[in-house]
Amino acid sequence: MRPYELIKAKRDGQVLAPADIRAFMDDFTRGVVPEYQMAAMCMAVFFRGMNADELGAWTQAMLESGDVLDLSDTPGTKVDKHSTGGVGDKVSLSLAPLAAACGVPVPMISGRGLGHTGGTLDKLESIPGFRVDLSVDDYRRLVREVGACLIGQTATLAPADKKLYALRDVTATVDCIPLIASSIMSKKLAEGIDALVLDVKVGSGAFMKKLEDARTLATTMIGIGRAMGKQVVALLTDMSQPLGRTVGNALEVMEAVDMLKGCAPADYTECTYALTGQMLVLGGKAKDAAEARALMEDAVKSGRALKKFEEIVTAQGGNPKALHDYALLPQADRTVQVPATHDGFVTGIDAEALGLAAMALGAGREKASDFVDHAVGFVLHKKVGDSVKVGEALLTAHVNDEDRLEDVVRRVQRAYQTGPTAAAKVPLVLETLR
């Protein structure tokens, strides 16, 4: 079928043949199908959805639009983790060395922060010298020799997704579950993985605000992975408040190192253990979550997990001394305590609003070309369930640009909700899906 006929068929709710989808996507990647036709197709998919066969063909066509890396020279089951993104989500920084220290090779291609969510690459680049722009050959070598490598998206991995995402961004077709699932999975499957753990975040700081949407996204991605012969497990995890106590690049690196030293906040520690534990099971290093937990705790207690992070940092050009002397990480000019305006208990923290406040400080970008200030961000003193008095510090802001401070203080105070009674605790792992 011609592009016009395909768009019309999808618009009218018909099922498209895999070969037609493949040809349409290939022609879009080569510039033969113009952007306006792909935009119309995405809008038709937004309203009509895709069945499993269509979605499989759509994802495979995006995956095969570029290189699919071969890591077969690294022995063992290669397992990565993908998070749909949140505020204070620094799990990749602790998970990759922890999994590698327990014997699971971790090939990880990560993204940058945009809007209210942070990105692993920005966090890593706050370590002096750390390089995320390694060649594919170096990436392959470091996965084999060190056990983990964390780099940025290359131009040759799933180029159809890059082009398509930019188009969806300006045509109101980003928030469409089949398009999100195929976008994420095409990039992850191109990395050379055997298995994948998904962290689908749910709540005010997440892409998916509702549990049922998160569940649908997770099962859609699991279905795509399974159809391509990969093992995929998804955890739905709480993002109704920031994870851990830090938001901002260098501050999050410090907390990640604390995790590997066994002294990070409980929610972040649990999230790392839950996700890494699934990787150990998928990677054949543990028979179940309990056995995985014992292995991980031993890796932390013995110092092996932190040592693995030092090895990764050194191999990627960074200064490993910064993991022991935090003064070597970027530091803001000053710190400011943001006081509470009400007595009571913290009943909620609007994580998206807090993420946007961190972005306003300079910790994140509004548009892809913005500069990121690695030093700035927040250290939270109050989280949901804590009691608070007027004037007490909700958090400490690490600030470089005084002009932004007044607006940021207002945003933080608005993001915190207080009430007369403590809110019930929300479990961190809401569901496990396979």
Query: Between vectors from CA 358 to CA 92 and to CA 390, what angle results, nearest 5°?
Result: 115
> Closer to ligand URA at the Cβ: 116 or 308?
116
Structure tokens at 132: 């995320």
Q: Which of 183, 186, 204, 240 is catalytic?
A: 183
> Closer to ligand URA at the Cβ: 305 or 359?
359
* Strand stretches in 98-146, DSSP E: 106-110
Output the smallest distance, CB 343 to ligand URA, in A.
39
> Closer to ligand URA at the Cβ: 198 or 375?
198
65 is catalytic: no
**Listed ranges 15-23, 143-151, 178-186, 284-292: which one lies at the site for ligand URA (CB under 6 A):** 178-186
Q: Distance (Å, rounded) from C-alpha 119 to C-alpha 331?
A: 19
**Listed ranges 29-37, 179-187, 320-328, 339-347: which one lies at the site for ligand URA (CB under 6 A):** 179-187
**Listed ranges 141-149, 180-188, 269-277, 297-305: which one lies at the site for ligand URA (CB under 6 A):** 180-188
Q: Are 278 and 79 in contact (CB under 8 A)?
A: no
Q: Distance (Å, rounded) from C-alpha 87 to C-alpha 392?
A: 23
Output the smallest distance, CB 175 to ligand URA, in A.
8
Structure tokens at 433: 């899906």
183 is catalytic: yes
- Among 223, 263, 242, 238, residue whose Cα is nearest residue 356: 242
Q: Which of 168, 230, 308, 411 is catalytic?
A: 168
Q: Which of 89, 122, 161, 267 is catalytic?
A: 161
Distance from CA of residue 10 to its chain's centroid?
31
Output the smallest distance, CB 419 to ligand URA, in A.
33
> Closer to ligand URA at the Cβ: 150 or 254?
150
Q: Distance (Å, rounded) from C-alpha 312 to C-alpha 309?
A: 5
187 is catalytic: yes
User: Counting contacts by CB under 6 A, is residue 184 touching ligand URA?
Assistant: yes
Distance from CA of residue 225 to its chain's centroid?
18
Output the smallest distance, CB 180 to ligand URA, in A.
4
Output the smallest distance, CB 222 to ligand URA, in A.
16
> Closer to ligand URA at the Cβ: 165 or 326?
165
Q: Distance (Å, rounded) from C-alpha 286 to C-alpha 414?
A: 44
Q: Are 383 and 349 in contact (CB under 8 A)?
A: yes
**Listed ranges 63-71, 177-185, 222-230, 401-409: which one lies at the site for ligand URA (CB under 6 A):** 177-185
Q: Which of 82, 90, 188, 382 is catalytic?
A: 82
Q: Distance (Å, rounded) from C-alpha 167 to C-alpha 35?
A: 7
Using the structure block, give the residue that is written with the tokens 């066969």.
53
Number of Cβ within a 10 Å radius of residue 421: 8
Burial class (CB in 10 A: 0-12, 13-18, 19+), 224: buried
Site residues for ligand URA, window 117-176 (CB under 6 A)?
Answer: 165, 174
> Among 108, 180, 384, 395, which residue sits at the site for ligand URA (rule: CB under 6 A)?
180
Output the smallest distance, CB 188 to ligand URA, in A.
9
Site residues for ligand URA, window 355-374 (CB under 6 A)?
Answer: none
> Closer to ligand URA at the Cβ: 355 or 362?
355
Task: Tell me the site size for ligand URA, rule CB under 6 A.
Answer: 6
82 is catalytic: yes
Beta bridge partners of 379: 246, 396
Q: Which of 78, 90, 187, 411 is catalytic?
A: 187
> Closer to ligand URA at the Cβ: 176 or 260?
176
| Strand pairing class (429-433; 231-238) | antiparallel
Output the smallest distance, CB 84 to ligand URA, in A.
7
Q: Are 229 and 204 in contact (CB under 8 A)?
A: no
Q: Distance (Å, rounded) from C-alpha 257 to C-alpha 98?
A: 11
> Closer to ligand URA at the Cβ: 99 or 200?
200
| Closest residue to ligand URA in the complex (CB) | 183
Q: Distance (Å, rounded) from C-alpha 95 to C-alpha 386?
A: 28
Longest dimension (CA), the chain: 67
Output the smallest distance, CB 243 to ligand URA, in A.
18
Q: Distance (Å, rounded) from C-alpha 271 to C-alpha 89?
A: 9
Q: Which residues are tagged catalytic?
A: 82, 161, 168, 183, 187
Point out which residues bind ligand URA (CB under 6 A). Answer: 165, 174, 179-180, 183-184
